[in-house]
Chain A
Amino acid sequence: MLRGTGTIFWREVGQYFASPVAYLIAFALLLLTGLLFNSDLTFSLTQKPADPALIPSFLALAMVFFAPLLTMRMLAEESREGTLELLLTAPVSDTAVVIGKFLSAWFYYTILLLLTFTYQFILLAITQPDLGLAVSAYIGIWLYGGATLAVGLLFSSLTENQIVAAFLSMSVLLLLWLGDIAGEIVANLDLARVLRQLSLGGHFSTSFAVGLLRAEDVAYYAGIMVVMLFITTRIVESHRWR
C-alpha cells in the first residue's frame, strides 16, 4: 500500500505545483498574513512583546476557507472526468488513493506554513519572541490544517461538482470553527461545552495557541483526520458496488 500511496502522492504533488491555482492560493494567503503581521508589528511597537502565535491563530480561521480550495478538485474532478474509475482499476488500493491525495494536500499546506516561518525569522532578528510558544502554535496549526484538509477531501468525494464540494466543506468547517464560540450563540452551557469539544478552534485557541501542548488535542485532530479519511475511503470504495 505504501508504494501505491507514494505514487498517488507524487502525482498529486506534481499537479499542485503545475497548477496556477495553487500559486494563487499561496499568494492570497501570504498577502493576508503579511498585512496582518505588519499591522500587528506596528501596533506592538514599544507597547507589548511580539506575539509569535499571531499568524498560526489567523490561519485557524483562514483554513476554513482555504482548505476547501485545496481539496475541492482532488476527487470531484476525478469523478466528473471519469478518471476515478480508471484509478480504481489501477493496482493501488482505495485507501492508498485517498491517503496519497490527502498527504499531497497536507504536504502543500506544510510548504505554505514553512513560508510563513519568514515572519518568525523576522521576529527573531528584531526582538526575542517566545520560541516555545511559536513551536507549539505551529504544531497545532499543522494538525489543525490536516484536519480541515481531511474534511475537505471528504466533501470532494461526495460530489462531482468542485464548487459544491468547496461550498459544503466550507459550510461544515465554518460550523466546526464557530463551535469555539458556541457559548456566545447557545444559551445552554452543557450544549455549548459539547459543541466546543467538537469544534476545531476549541482545540487550538486555548491550548496550542497559548503554548500548551495537550495530548487530547493531538488526539482530536488525529481522530478527525482518521475518521474523515476512513469515510472518504468508504465513499470511494462505494463506486465499486453502487
Chain B
Amino acid sequence: MSREAVIIRRNQLGQWAGFIGGGAALLGIIGLLWQGGLTPIIIGLLVAGAAGLGLWALLSPQEFVGFVTGRQARYGTVAVFGTLLLIGIVALTYIVLQRAVLTLDMTEGQRFTLSSESLGILRQVTQPIRITGFYSPRALQLREVDDQFFRLYEVATDGRITREYIDPDVNAAQRNAFGVTEDGSVFISYLNPDGTPNLNTLMRVPIERGPEPSNQERDLTGAIARLLAAGTLTVYFDTSNGALSPFDTSQQGLSAINDGMRANGVITSVLNVADLAQSGSSIPANAAAIILARPTQDYTEAEVQLLGSYVKGGGALLILADPLFNEDAFLRQDGALNRFLWDTFGIRARDAVAVENDPGASAQSPLDIISAAVFTDTDIGARLNSDETPTLFTVARALEVNDSPPPDVANGRVILTSQNSYGETNFRALAETNTYQFDAGQDIPGPLTTVAWANIQQTNGRVVLIGDSDFVTNGMVGTGGNGILFTDSIAWLTRFGERINFKPQAFTTGLPMVFVSTQTLDLIAFITVILMPGLVLLTGLAVWLRRQRLQA
C-alpha cells in the first residue's frame, strides 16, 4: 500500500485563508448590524476576517489583486450592490405598506371589519386605552391572528387605543402584575399619565380559545364597553337579617359573583338595611341595585318601607329566596316584603318547594330543579337555553306571578319547571322527614315559576325574584347557566346590559353545514380522486408514447 504525500501549496493556503476570512468578516458585519454594537464575538469575527483576508493578500498577492481589481470583481460588485439596493427598496416598500395598514376584508361575513355597533362604542373612547397581550414565542401565530383585530381598534380610534405585546416567559414581573394565567391572555386598561397601564382599571378580555374559531371582535368590544362603564355602577349586598356574605370564599359563599362583578367594572359594596332603617337613613343614591342574598329573617315593616321607596323611585332589587323552615323566615308568604312585592309588582314567593317529577328536568333528586322552560322576552333569559345552558336550583321555592299586574307595572316569568312538577306545601314533613307527595287541593300543580321579574314603567324601578340562592354560591355558580342567570339579572336590573350591548360580527356568518348523501359523497370521491388525476395521468401517458414514437 503506497502512501501519497498531501501537498498544500502556498496559493491554496492563501485561498483558504481568504475564504475563511471573508466568511468571518461577513458574519461579523451581520452580527454588528443585528446587535447594533460590538460584542467580544463580533470583534473576534471581524479580527479573524481581517487576518484571513490579510493572509490571503500575503500568501497569494497576485490572485488577491486580481480578485479586487479584475473584471469579475467589477461585475460582481455591481451585481451585489444592485441586489442589496433592490432588497432595500423592497424592504422599505414592505415596511411602509405594513405601517399603512392597507387591508381588504374578503370574507362574506366581513369578519375583519368592525361592526357599526363596535364603532359606536369606540366613538365613546376619549381616554387612552391600552390592549396588553401576553404571548410567548410559542403563541406567535395566535398573536398574529389577534393582532389583525387589535390594530383595527387602534385605527378606528385614531390611536386612542394602543396595543402592546409582552413575552410572559421573559417578563415575569409584568406577568405577575397582570395575573397572567395562560399564554395568549389579553387585558385592557386605561393608561397612567406616564403611559403605563393603570392596573387599577385592568380588565381581562375573555377571548374564548377552543376548537371553534375565536370571536375577537365580540370579546374585545365587550371588554371595552365594560371598561367604559366601569366605575359608574355600584351594586350593594345587603348584609342584614343573616344574608349570605359576598366575601365568603367557602362553597356556600358569594365571593365568586362579587369578584366577577368587580372584574367587569362594577363596583360592589355592602350595606345593612336594618341599620339604615333603624337610623332613619336612606339607601345610598349611587345604588344601581341591591342584592338580598337569602336573608334568613324576614324584613320588618320599616325595612320594607325603606326598600320600597328606593325601588319605587327607580331602584333595583335582586331577591334570592330559598325555602326556609324557620319561624319568621325570609319572604314568608304573609310577610311584609312579600306583601309589598305582590301589591306593587304582582309577584311573590309562595310557601311551597318545587318538586320535579320529570326525570329530564331534575338532577340527582326531585328537589334539584333544572330549568324546563325559559322565557326570552327580557334580557334575563335571552342567553339561557334549557338544552345547552340549563340552570340548576337546589331546593327551589315556587313563585307566583299576577298576570294582571298593578297599573304601570309590567311583570313576567323567566324560568318554569316542567308540567310534571308541583309545589310541596308541607314544609314540616319536608324539613323533618325529607318526604314529599303531591296532595291534590293542598299542593300547587306545575308548571311552577322559579324566576320572575317586574318593572315599574314610569320610574323604571325593577325587581328580579328568584326562588333559590344556592345557584349563585361559589360551589354552584359555574354549573350550567347559573352564572349567566345571575349576570344577566344584574345586567337587566342595572341597565348595564343596555350600555354594553352590541351585535358582534358572527364568525361563521351563518354558513350552512354540509349535508350530502352517501351516494353524492361517492360520486365526489370518484370525480376528485379517480377521474381528475386519472385523466391527467392518461394525458401524460399519451404524451410520453407520442414522444417515444417520434424518437423511434
Interface: B8 (CB within 8 A): no
B103: which of A41, A131, A213 is its contact (CB, 8 Å)?
A: A213
A126-142: which have CB < 8 Å to B? 126-133, 135-136
Q: Provide the bound-state CA to CA distance between A231 and B85, in Å.
A: 12
Q: Check A107 for interface membership: any CB of B closer than 8 A.
A: no
What is the chain A residue whose CB lies nearest that of B537?
Answer: A27
Report the nearest A residue to B144, measured CB to CB: A206
**Interface residue from A20, A180, A223 paired with B141 (Cβ < 8 Å):** A180
The 8 Å CB contact of A38, one of B139, B167, B525, is B525
Report B-chain residues with C-beta under 8 Å of the C-beta of A129: 511
With A and B bound together, what is the CA distance between A130 and B511 in angstroms? 7
Which B residues are CB-close (under 8 A) to A223?
90-91, 93-94
Cβ B532 vs Cβ A115 within 8 A: yes
The answer to whether A135 and B106 touch across the interface, beta carbons within 8 angstroms, is yes
Interface size class, chain A: 35 or more
Identify which of A43-51, A59-67, A82-90, A169-177 touches chain B: A43-51
A146 at interface (Cβ–Cβ under 8 A)? no
Q: Are A196 and B540 in contact (CB under 8 A)?
A: no
The yes or no answer to B109 lying at the interface (CB within 8 A) is: yes
| Majority-rule SS of A interface residues | helix
Q: Considering the complex, which residues of chain B in the window 70-84 have a beta carbon less than 8 Å from any beta carbon of chain A?
A: 71-72, 75-76, 79, 82-83
Contact with A along B434-478 (1 / 0, CB 8 A): 000000000000000000000000000000000000000000000
- CB of A231 within 8 A of CB of B140, answer no
A35's closest neighbor in chain B, by CB? B529
B144 touches A230 (CB 8 A): no
Contact in complex: A34, B543 (CB < 8 Å): no
CA A38 to CA B513, docked complex, whole Å: 15
B532's nearest neighbour on chain A, judged by CB, is: A30
CB neighbours (8 Å) of A210 from chain B are 107, 111-112, 145, 148
Q: How far is the CA of A196 from the CA of B136 in the complex (A)?
A: 14
How far is B520's CA from A219's CA once the two chains are assembled, in angstroms? Answer: 42
Are A38 and B90 in contact, with the CB atoms below 8 A?
Answer: no
- Is A49's CB under 8 angstroms from B514's CB? yes
Q: Are B513 and A186 in contact (CB under 8 A)?
A: no
Q: How many residue-residue contacts, CB under 8 A, span A and B?
A: 205
Within 8 A of B (CB), among A187-223: 187-189, 192-193, 196, 202, 205-207, 210-216, 219-220, 223
Q: Is A114 part of the contact surface with B, judged by Cβ < 8 Å? A: no
Q: Which residues of A contact B137 (CB under 8 A)?
A: 182-184, 186-189, 192
Interface residue SS majority, chain B: helix
Q: Do residues A183 and B93 form an inter-chain contact, with CB atoms below 8 A?
A: no
User: Is the C-beta of B86 less than 8 angstroms from some C-beta in chain A?
Assistant: yes
Contact of A183 with B94 at beta-carbon distance under 8 Å, contacts A30-B533, A48-B513 already known:
no
| B512:A127 contact, CB within 8 angstroms | yes
Q: By the criterion CB–CB under 8 Å, are B511 and A122 in contact?
A: no
A44 to B509, CA, bound (A): 17
Partner of B102, one of A23, A119, A192, A214: A214
When A46-B513, A188-B137 are in contact, do A202 and B144 touch as well, CB less than 8 Å?
Answer: yes
Given A17-B543, A189-B137, check contact A219 B144 (CB 8 Å).
Answer: no
Q: Which residue of B lies closest to A115 (CB)?
A: B532
Smallest CB–CB gap between A129 and chain B, Å?
A: 7
A98-106, A160-168, A234-242 - the one binding chain B: A234-242
Knowing A46-B514, A206-B145, say if A216 contacts B140 (CB, 8 Å).
no
Fill in one digit per residue for B495-530: 1 if any A CB lies within 8 Å of its CB, else 0.
Answer: 000000000000011011111100011001101110
Q: Which of A37, A38, A46 is in CB contact (< 8 Å) with B515?
A: A46
Are B90 and A192 within 8 A (Cβ)?
no
Question: Which residues does chain B contribute within 8 Å of A238, judged by CB atoms?
Answer: 75-76, 79
Contact present for B513 and A192 (CB under 8 Å): no
> How far does the alpha carbon of A192 sit from the alpha carbon of B12 in the complex, in Å?
40
A130 contacts B109, CB within 8 Å?
yes
B513 touches A49 (CB 8 A): yes
Instruction: Report how far A115 CA is from B533 CA in the complex, Å.
Output: 10
Q: Which residue of B lies closest to A47 (CB)?
A: B513
The residues of B that contact A242 with a CB separation of less than 8 Å are 72
B532: chain A residues at CB < 8 Å are 30, 34, 115, 118
Q: Check if A30 sits within 8 Å of B103, measured CB to CB.
A: no
Task: Determine if B138 is an interface residue (Cβ-Cβ < 8 Å).
Answer: yes
* Contact indicator A34/B529 (Cβ below 8 Å): yes
On whether the beta carbons of A18 and B83 are closer than 8 Å, the reply is no
The yes or no answer to A158 lying at the interface (CB within 8 A) is no
Task: Kindly provide the distance from the CB of A194 to the nearest chain B CB, expressed in whole angstroms.
Answer: 9
- Enumerate chain B residues within 8 angstroms of A193, measured Cβ to Cβ: 140
Beyond A20-B547, A241-B75, whether A27 also contacts B512 by CB under 8 A is: no
Which residues of chain B (151-177) have a CB below 8 Å from chain A?
A: 167, 169-170
When chains A and B are docked, how far (Å) is the Cα of A231 from the Cα of B169? 40
Most chain A CB within a 10 A radius of its CB, from B90, B512, B514: B514
Contacts of A42 in B (CB 8 A): 521
B514 to A215, Cβ gap below 8 A? no
| A38:B524 contact, CB within 8 angstroms | yes
> Nearest Cβ in chain A — how far from B175, in angstroms?
13
> CA A37 – CA B528 in complex, angstroms?
8
In this assembly, does B98 line the interface, its C-beta being within 8 Å of a C-beta of chain A? yes
Q: Which residues of B contact A115 (CB under 8 A)?
A: 532, 536
Measuring CB to CB, which residues of chain A are less than 8 angstroms from any residue of chain B?
17-20, 22-24, 26-27, 30-31, 33-35, 37-38, 41-42, 44-50, 115, 118-119, 122, 126-133, 135-136, 180-184, 186-189, 192-193, 196, 202, 205-207, 210-216, 219-220, 223, 226-227, 230-231, 234, 237-238, 241-242
Q: Can you report 10 A-B residue pairs in the complex whose CB atoms are below 8 A from each other? A: A19-B543, A20-B547, A23-B540, A27-B533, A48-B513, A49-B508, A115-B532, A211-B106, A215-B97, A241-B72
Known: A122-B527, A131-B108, A238-B76. 16 other contacts (CB 8 A): A19-B543, A26-B540, A27-B537, A35-B529, A41-B524, A130-B511, A132-B108, A136-B106, A182-B137, A189-B137, A210-B112, A214-B102, A223-B91, A227-B90, A237-B75, A238-B79
